């Protein structure tokens, strides 16, 4: 397998854009990525597209930027769709079949509700009424289980949201850019205890793109190629009882272990992390799943500032999904954009730029059925 580098990244501002189509959002992100590395579509040899609705969305996006007859594959893998598309582009280049690949993720959720269910007749859906097996309810239950097992408090979960909203103020591409106090987060409208409104990611529109090429070609396009040190996709192990708290932890931790092994680094080597904080409870659990701390230590550590800029390892300096937004299939590629900017020293403001960052990790969990972990290095 050849070494592969990220040479260009592009991302729209995340938000709600009723005037823009999904294809336009994807096209805007691709043009941004091409400009970033001085390429044109003629340089792209293969492309992978995640999300946005119809099966052939990728081909529609290519029409926005100039169809060139290249292979285009459409990817669906829940919240991990974008990061899975990035992984496929990585494998295509690493294998030697192609020298330059493109990954693009797009989504247009608007105010349709989580995963679009708001457009359905929810009064006819018992799960929608009870709320047990929709994502806010599921991640609330995971948080409550963590409270029961380790003594984690609602205030500690809320501190996650306070942290992420604070950093979003400095990210011009973030959906929301408002800082909140701990009291404001705790007193916001309750969605599913212990997660209040400000502890839940918004539904968002947006697009993100990344251009990858073999390392031997990378310096033709950038003076700071970002090496893809590991790319892992994991799914759950079989459990006859179905998936629960332990199964989710096992999948994510296994993906992290494989990624650290491939990259030849450990969690102690990380300079920053972008992880899947669809809810505040999720971020805290993933501190432990990704070995950033031991089981049960996440609550105390976030409260002590371990995951702030200047702490043990900064997490979600983009504002995370909680503020930046979660256009589902764009999320994984947007993480790659943020990690690349951070490693290049291009995060725009000192309030969220990690000084001299060399090693960065991106993590996305696709529901409870897939998990991707990427480690990027200079």
Vertex 347: Cα angle to 205 and 285 (nearest 5): 65
Q: Which residues contact 347 (CB under 8 A, 6 or more apart)?
A: 317, 338, 341, 353, 354
The arithmetic mean of pLDDT across residues 247-251, rounded, is 79
Catalytic residue (one of 79, 201, 278, 293) = 79
In terms of C-beta density within 10 A (0-12 exposed, 13-18 middle, 19 or more buried), how is residue 117 classed? middle
Give the whole-angstrom CA distance, residue 154 versus residue 378.
38
Determine phi and psi for 136, rounding to 5 degrees: -55, -40
Q: Which of 204, 196, 198 is nearest to 174 (CA)?
A: 204
109, 328 contact by CB (below 8 A)? yes
The reported pLDDT for the residue numbered 209 is: 98
271-327 tens-digit pLDDT: 999 999 999 999 999 999 999 999 999 999 999 999 999 999 999 999 999 999 999
Tell me the pTM.
0.94
The reported pLDDT for the residue numbered 120 is: 45
CATH architecture of 4-111+202-377: 3-Layer(aba) Sandwich (3.40)
Give the whole-angstrom CA distance, residue 223 versus residue 239.
48
Q: Which residues contact 239 (CB under 8 A, 6 or more apart)?
A: 247
119-174 tens-digit pLDDT: 444 444 555 555 556 788 889 999 999 999 999 999 999 999 999 999 999 999 99
- Confidence class for position 52, pLDDT limits 50, 70, 90: low
Q: Which three-class secondary structure state does DSSP give residue 360? A: strand
The reported pLDDT for the residue numbered 54 is: 67
> What's 131-166 look like in SS3?
CCCCHHHHHHHHHHHHHHHHCCCHHHHHHHHHHHHH
Residue 152, both tokens: 């984690």
348-376 tens-digit pLDDT: 899 999 999 999 999 999 988 899 999 99
The tally of CA atoms less than 13 A away on the side-chain side of residue 81 is 26
Residue 204, both tokens: 């968002």
Tokens 């003076």 belong to 223
What percentage of residues in the chain have a pLDDT greater than 90? 83
Q: Distance of alpha carbon 64 from its chain centroid, rounded? A: 25
Q: At what angle do helices 154-168 and 280-289 cross, to 10 degrees?
A: 100
Give the whole-angstrom CA distance, residue 277 versus residue 17.
23
Give the whole-angstrom CA distance, residue 331 versus residue 321.
8
Give the whole-angstrom CA distance, residue 74 versus residue 290.
29
66: pLDDT strictly greater than 60: yes
The reported pLDDT for the residue numbered 325 is: 96
Catalytic site includes residue 79? yes
Catalytic residue (one of 146, 286, 326, 363) = 326
324, 174 contact by CB (below 8 A)? yes
């Amino acid at each position: 397998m050849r070494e592969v580098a990220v040479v260009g990244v592009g991302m729209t501002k995340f938000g709600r854009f009723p005037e823009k189509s999904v294809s336009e959002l994807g096209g805007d992100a691709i043009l941004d990525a091409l400009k970033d590395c001085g390429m044109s579509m003629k340089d792209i040899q293969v492309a992978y597209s995640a999300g946005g609705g119809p099966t052939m969305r990728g081909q529609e996006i290519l029409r926005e930027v100039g169809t060139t007859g290249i292979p285009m594959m459409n990817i669906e893998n829940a919240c991990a769709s974008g990061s899975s598309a990035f992984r496929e582009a990585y494998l295509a280049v690493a294998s030697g079949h192609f020298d330059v690949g493109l990954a693009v993720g797009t989504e247009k959720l608007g105010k349709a509700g989580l995963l679009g269910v708001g457009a359905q007749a929810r009064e006819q859906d018992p799960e929608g009424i009870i709320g047990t097996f929709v994502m806010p309810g599921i991640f609330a239950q995971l948080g409550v289980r963590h409270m029961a097992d380790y003594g984690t408090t609602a205030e500690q979960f809320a501190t996650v949201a306070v942290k992420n909203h604070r950093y979003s103020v400095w990210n011009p591409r973030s959906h929301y850019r408002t800082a909140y106090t701990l009291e404001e987060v705790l007193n916001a409208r309750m969605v599913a205890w212990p997660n209040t409104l400000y502890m839940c990611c918004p539904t968002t529109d947006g697009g993100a793109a990344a251009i990858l090429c073999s390392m031997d070609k990378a310096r033709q396009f950038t003076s700071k190629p970002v090496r893809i040190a590991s790319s892992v996709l994991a799914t759950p192990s079989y459990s006859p009882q179905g998936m629960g708290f332990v199964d989710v932890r096992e999948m994510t931790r296994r993906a992290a272990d494989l990624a650290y092994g491939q990259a030849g680094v450990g969690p102690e080597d990380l300079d920053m992390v972008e992880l899947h904080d669809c809810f505040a409870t999720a971020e805290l659990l993933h501190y432990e799943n990704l070995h950033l701390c031991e089981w049960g230590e996440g609550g105390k550590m976030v409260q002590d500032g371990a995951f702030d800029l200047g702490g043990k390892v900064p997490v979600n300096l983009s504002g995370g999904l909680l503020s930046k937004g979660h256009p589902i299939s764009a999320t994984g590629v947007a993480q790659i954009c943020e990690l690349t900017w951070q490693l290049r020293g291009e995060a725009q403001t000192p309030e969220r730029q990690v000084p001299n960052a060399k090693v960065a990790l991106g993590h996305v969990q696709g529901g409870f059925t897939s998990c991707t972990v990427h480690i990027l290095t200079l």
